[in-house]
Amino acid sequence: MTDVLKLPPESRPMANRFRGFLPVVVDVETGGFDCRRHALLQVAAVFLRRGADDRLYRERTLSLHVRPFEGGLLDPKSLEVNGIDPFHPLRIAHPEDQAMGRLFSEVRREVKLNQCKRAILVGHNAHFDLGFVHTAAERCGIRRNPFHPFSSLDTVSLSALAYGQTVLARAAEATGLTWDNESAHSAAYDAEMTADIFCAITNRWMDTAGIPQSAALIPDAAV
């Protein structure tokens, strides 16, 4: 049985939908704003599916707590915002190399499953998340990084275009989602909200303008 046949029966591979890139929605929670100096504390990835009608929807979420790397800085103001106690005895966190290895392994599987050539990170202020992902990979000596090295899809820009909003909570509300302030600043929650916004805008555009013919094509191997 091929990887393509392991997709849910109602799904199609992403394949050429985004020029061979697989959108993976990522959110990170960190100990500050500098990806080289501040610790990565939590990373979440949301994997999407393409329905038979070409609409996108959220399928599953991978969420991992990460131990601060040796010498990583922790800004108390950032910890106050995200509510993370990096050294709480009940916090089940993985060493950074193991967390990134697990994340990349899951992403590579999805890339293969969807017949894409590599992943492209989707995020709210995506350059921030992409910087922490790439820097952590470099720090851990991981060479098989499935994400595009510099391109990303930013829901800040998409939300500004679609709804006139740039703040994640306001963009979610404009999409018709219910925003929970108590759950916000968890990597999994923020990633799932970002994924729902991305899918809503993408589907709305398709309903209005359709999609390019090349984006609708599915490689022969998917048949």
pTM score, whole prediction: 0.94
**Burial (0-12, 13-18, 19+ Cβ within 10 Å), 47:** buried
185 catalytic residue (yes or no): yes
Which residue is listed with tokens 């720090």?
139
* Active-site pick, 65, 94, 148, 185: 185
In this predicted model, what pLDDT tens digit does every residue of 85-97 receive, in sequence order?
A: 999 999 999 999 9
Position 15 confidence tier, pLDDT thresholds 50, 70, 90: very high
Contact 44, 84 (CB under 8 A): no
In this predicted model, what pLDDT tens digit does every residue of 121-163 receive, in sequence order?
A: 999 999 999 999 999 999 999 999 999 999 999 999 999 999 9
In this predicted model, what pLDDT tens digit does every residue of 53-101 receive, in sequence order?
A: 999 999 999 999 999 999 999 999 999 999 999 999 999 999 999 999 9
Please report, in angstroms and rounded to a whole number, the separation of the first and last CA atoms in the chain. Answer: 13
What pLDDT score was predicted for residue 6? 77
Instruction: Give the ranges where the chain is alpha helix by DSSP (H).
Output: 76-82, 96-113, 126-139, 155-163, 168-175, 187-209, 213-216
Position 223 confidence tier, pLDDT thresholds 50, 70, 90: very low
Task: State how far the alpha carbon of 158 is from the alpha carbons of 30, 71, 192, 219, in Å.
Answer: 24, 36, 16, 28
- Paired residues of 72 in beta bridges: none
Is the backbone of residue 177 left (phi > 0), alpha (psi -120 to 50) or beta?
Answer: beta
